[in-house]
Every structure is written in C-alpha cells, then in structure tokens.
Amino acid sequence: MKIEFKFNSRSSGQNVPEAIRLAEKRGGYKEDKFYKVYFDSPEDMDLGKLFKLVGGLKGTAISLDGNEPVVAHKFFYAVNCQEKLICKGICRHLGFYYYNLDTFVDEHSDSIENDVFTTSEEHLITSLTSFLEMVEENKFRLNKTLFFEFFQEETEMERRFCNKYHLKNIETAIEKLPNEIKLVPEEVEDYGEEFELEETEDRIEYIISSILTESKLSSELPFKDILLCSKTVGLLQGGSSALTVEKTDVVVYSFPSINKVIIAKLLVFSNSPDELEEDELSYTIKKQNEFFVAANPHSKLYFQLFEEDDAMLERYFEKLRNIYS
C-alpha cells in the first residue's frame, strides 16, 4: 500500500514548521503550496505524528494507492483503534445509539421483555429515526437490515484497515437487538435545593468544582491516564470560565494560552444525597467511553482534555452529548 500524506505548508497553524521538518526528514517534497510525503504502512509512527501536527488543518489529505483522498481522521481512528484488543470483531466506533453493540442486550436485560426494549430516553428514538417504524404511539419497530447497511457504510475504514473487524459478528450482534422500542415518560425526582441544576454556567461550574474536590483517582488507571487526569482536574480547578453549548448539556472550558479544550457533562440520578451513606458521597475517577468519569451513586461527571485542533474533537463532542447514564 502506498500512502500519500499532503498538507498546506503556507497554513498559519503553529505546528506547520515542525511538520515541514518531519516531512523533509522522510523525503517529502513541496509541490505548489503543499508538502507531500509517502509511507508504506498505516502504522508508520511518523505518519501518525504528521497527522497529530497538521491533521486538523484545511487542505490536509490522505490518499491510498493513488485513489481519491479519504477522510483523514476516520483513517487514523481505524488504524489506531484503542479497543481492537477487546472488541471481539464487533467494531465499537459506531454503536447502537451510544451503546456498544456487543454489550447492549446484556446491559439492558432488565428493560427488555418479549423482544421489546422500554426506555425513557427520547434521544435514543431521535438518533435512530432513520431505522424505526411506528407500530403505535410511542412504540417503534427497529429495521435491523437498514441499520446493518448503515453500520457497514459508517465503518468502511475499519473494514479496510482493521484485521479484527468481523462482519458476521456485527450482523449477529445487530440481530440480537430488540425488535421494538417502547418510549415511556421519564420519572422526575425532587433532589432538594442543594442539588437543583440552575440554567447558569456559574452553578454548573460550582457543582463540577465541588465534585472534583471530593474525588479520588482509581488505582486501576494506567499511570499515563493518572497524569493526564491530574492535569485536567488542575485546569478545571484553576478558575477558567465555562460555557454550556445551547441545546445540549455539554460544558466547554477553553485554555487559549496552551491551546487546550476540556469538554464535560454532569448527570444527576434519582438518589438524593440524604439517602446516601457518607462513604457513598465521595467520587472515584475511572475511565469510561474514552472519558474520565467521577462517579458515585448520586451523579456522574464526564470530562476529557483535548488539543484545540484535534481532528477528532467534534466526534468526541457528539459522543459526550449522547451519553445519558
């Protein structure tokens, strides 16, 4: 396989000079305003470095064997998959809503009866609109054939470049999904004044800061994640202003001086603080869905630190906004 990596050498991106040095080191050359570098393997470390440096810039493109350019971030997301050792061939880059296909049925067995999944999550219905047919009011039939076709299209890169990708296992997992989905009203609990979430950034920032103050890191985290999480918590506690994105419950913290962004999301569950034992009020930070999660039986705080120009940032933002448990 011949891989061509091309980027705009005249871009104002701060990492462009370093990318040019690396490109020249690997025998790259300038053609008009673009630098072109060629690689034989998608796993080449220098290819990954170039993508990290300039992958998010306008004009950056990757072509395979002289064909039309492919979407760069999808290519690297497939090649550098973090979950290929545990996915069992059922690709986790696209799920059923935001759930993993291979674990959905087991995780929701209490809500599935007679092949009907009962849920109060309206976002699940809206996210699957293209694959649902109305049976009756608030009850929908899942078109698994359409969803399977969609899954194949959306994971084209994974099919081409991941040796763990197993189409038959994916088809089997989709067939195991419930045939119908029933939407029921969400139960609303009174959490008391102390934990009411007012629609102001100041209130959200205060709650997030309070949670992190009561948090401890799980000893199960790899050391690199411990360091990254500590840095992220330090930035969150440093007093930077946050903004809530309209029509979402995602909070964005920006740190222009170091070109970093943190996205976060707070979920509050049905148990009120008065019902919890003292040791249940503390939070343990673990890793879930590629985000750090500070959780106790009452609430969960998802958060993660990114580079401003991370090409995957929008994808992670969409994933975070669709997490509801």
CB atoms within 10 A of CB 252: 16
CA dist 247 to 264, 265, 314, Å? 15, 13, 16
Asked if 289 and 319 touch (Cβ cutoff 8 Å), the reply is: yes
User: Residue 278 has what pLDDT?
Assistant: 46
Run means of pLDDT, 10 residues per run, the chain, 325 residues:
91 88 94 93 89 83 89 79 85 82 90 94 86 95 96 91 92 96 75 44 72 86 88 80 77 85 83 47 83 87 89 84 78
Sole residue written with tokens 């401890």: 216
pTM above 0.75, yes or no: no
User: Residue 293 has what pLDDT?
Assistant: 94
What's the sign of the alpha-carbon dihedral 119, 317, 76, 130? positive
User: Residue 82 has what pLDDT?
Assistant: 76
What's the sign of the alpha-carbon dihedral 209, 242, 191, 118? negative
Phi, psi dihedral angles at 105 (to 5 degrees): -65, -45
User: Residue 187 has what pLDDT?
Assistant: 63
User: Residue 202 has what pLDDT?
Assistant: 52
Which amino acid is present at 255? F
User: Residue 267 has what pLDDT?
Assistant: 85
**Residue ranges covered by each domain of the chain:** 3-79, 104-183, 193-321
